[in-house]
Structure 1
Amino acid sequence: MFQKILIANRGEIALRVLRACKELGIQTVVVHSTADADAMHVRLADESVCIGPPPSRDSYLNIHQIVAACEITGADAVHPGYGFLSENAKFADILAAHNITFIGPSGDHIRIMGDKIEAKRTAKRLGIPVVPGSDGAVTEEKEAKRIAAEIGYPVIIKASAGGGGRGMKVAHTEADLEVALQTARSEAGAAFGDDAVYIEKYLQKPRHIEVQVFGDGFGRGVHFGERDCSLQRRHQKVWEEANSPALNAEERSRIGSICATAIADLGYSGAGTIEFLYENGEFYFIEMNTRLQVEHPVTEAITGIDLVHEQIRVASGGGLSVKQEDIKFNGHAIECRINAEDPRAFTPSPGTITHFHTPGGLGIRVDSGVYSGYRIPPYYDSLIGKLIVHGRNRVECMMRLRRALDEFVVDGIKTTLPLFRDLVGNADIANGDYDIHWLEKYLAKEE
């Protein structure tokens, strides 16, 4: 087991990893920018190292500074959290070259799954169902028209190196395709430095279902069930739950087994999430995230298994602590992402939190690194906390969520709490009757 882990992140995920390390008796080092000197994880860590000014490129994305912090403090492993360098293959390779363990998969696996085209090819080879579309990058309009005609309109054009909705355009007719192709390539090049795009069938009313997987790096893989992440705004997840209200036990077992087998065959090590669009009883692979997800707590709630403990154990060479038959699913869990944003315009709302009171009681968990008097810096992601609620079934979970939202107080800044208070009272949400377009339509009606 590791002696000292450096946490290369900030905010609630840094605090989440720090807590797991303390429970395992592992010393912690956190790195931080000058803007985060008073952050909760900095206060609680055994050691802290300032690695630069507020801009991420000069601090949390500065690989050389992070490696230097490892060498100065004697950290023998790095946990990247999510975002920043968590899916950076170069970072994983550099750590390995310095005999520092990256708590995550190999650089090769990060590279494969970071390229959407190669990821789709790999998924297909591993027996994972994929969305009909091009086998590789599409550069010519003529080729794009041929593929679109074969799979049928509407189609969606996506950036190969993309994410977060950038470099993504929908074409409903052949007339739309030329403009969509040019726009997607232009956006992809500007955002990712790579203008490669590919084409897929655009599903009309799918749900976003993702399967949590783990590999031990020695040819064994397991799944921890699925999460439903269909409530999204601008391709950003807002509300996640497990299990999905849309799946039955047979579908859940089928897709879970496919993913666990694929991870084993890949020889994958650590946590991963295989993401699908789901429509009319069919699953279609869209991407794999080679890291811990923001929404991992809902899986922890229904399985009772600490996924960060599992990450650290696997990375240390200890293998998985559970077999597939040991993983049991209990009840229902929902996570709401609380952002420092205007709940209607969704514009950032940095500033000082004058009062911060979190809900409590049975089945309530709040992952947050903020506190009363904390000043939210304007430089980073607007997520300030996650409310996770667990109940014996979805009805109990929804009632508990309603109560918890009423208790949650954040003063001094605007947050998305009012949005969740509206959603929890909506009939479609109560019935689990929504898809990836539902929230956008709901917000449009409210304007």
Structure 2
Amino acid sequence: MKKLLLLSALLLAGSSWTMAQSSQEPPSGMSEIQAYSIYYENYKSESYGSAIDFGRWIWKGMPETIEGYSKFDLERNLQRLITAYGGLAGQAEDPAVAEAYTDTALTIFDKVYKHFGEDLDQFEWAVRKGRFYQRHSDYIDGSTEKAAAEYQKAFEMKPEEFTKMNDGYYVQVLLRHLVSEGEKDEALAMIEKVEPYAPDQLSEYISSARNELFDSPEERITFLEGELEDDPENEELLTQLQDLYEQAGMNDKLSEISQKLYEINPNYENSLALAEAAIGDARYNEAIKYFKEALNKADDSDKKASIALNIANAYLNSDRLQSARQFARTALEHDSEWGKPYIVIADAYAQAVNQCSEGELEVEDRVVYWLVLDYLNRAKSVDSSASNEANNKIQSYASYTPTTEQQFFKNWEDGQSLQVDGSLKSCYSWIGESTTVRR
């Protein structure tokens, strides 16, 4: 090819001729192979102006072959000429010139379809034409609608392949158009078709597109419930409904659908959902059961710490204080710098005083509040985000600690260690910790 280019350059040296010719033959009496070689080299270097000067005759005359060059491919070179005209349109400063270039490119598209007919890869060329409309929208009337029409053709021909192209970009373009035009039924029908093939990025877009298609969460719930009738074990539909029921505060339906998801797939997420639904209805025993399942299925320390604390709170709310402390400590094993578990232990000890004292605080009961304060101070020392809650509780509990007079009669010295266990009072035997006398 380089030899052909040199030969052509020599033949042209010193000649004067215009590149404005528009005949079906190569310019200035050149042979087809000479003109093609110069056209192709300019195309490769993105010198699109020179490329079309030497290649215009190709789309004018539509030669199937070039003598002396067996690799010539008319369809491929028409595609290149479209690219060249499009490139010149993008470079043009005058909008009228840019529009003329895009019009010529669209003329070539028409010639491609007419010339090759059924032998053309209709899918590939529909996508290509849709991209052209998009890229040159400033110079094409109705470009958005025209691009969408081409993408719709491509989608109908090969839905899976079209959906996966460019990580779902072309489907997003088509869906955006349908949503903007208010064509709800068409958009929903398309979403249903593409979801089985949708890449992650497209799946995220589909979720947001759905929100735009419905006037209210209730409308979307109605739609999804209808879809579920045809496919009652579709986890994707069930999960979407689960989120919507939670947002709408529809607790009965939330519990029902969470149970169904769990029966289909008792994984971490579905176990956790059942636990959270139960805790919302104060069904603590059921919540504890499913939280424990989720704890065993959790795959990182943060999740384990959070679930363990939920179990601790469920035990605390059902007055099982020793178990509440046990799981608060489990939470600390997974996150020792979290203040909340220390606060739960403090609350468990404060609740123990209520159980043991039966409303009549003896000095021994008051000692436990020193231990409560120890845990609250520890909470805010390890976790500044727990400071406000810890300080509020400190203010509430500080007044219940032994008075100076009570300490005097007990002969307790400042800084003295005291055991909070059965030696203090039998109902505190499970605590088994020590605290310090303070003035």
Coarse TM-score class (shorter-chain normalised): under 0.3
Q: Pick the structure with greater CA Rg.
A: 2
* The structure with more strand, counted as a fraction of residues: 1
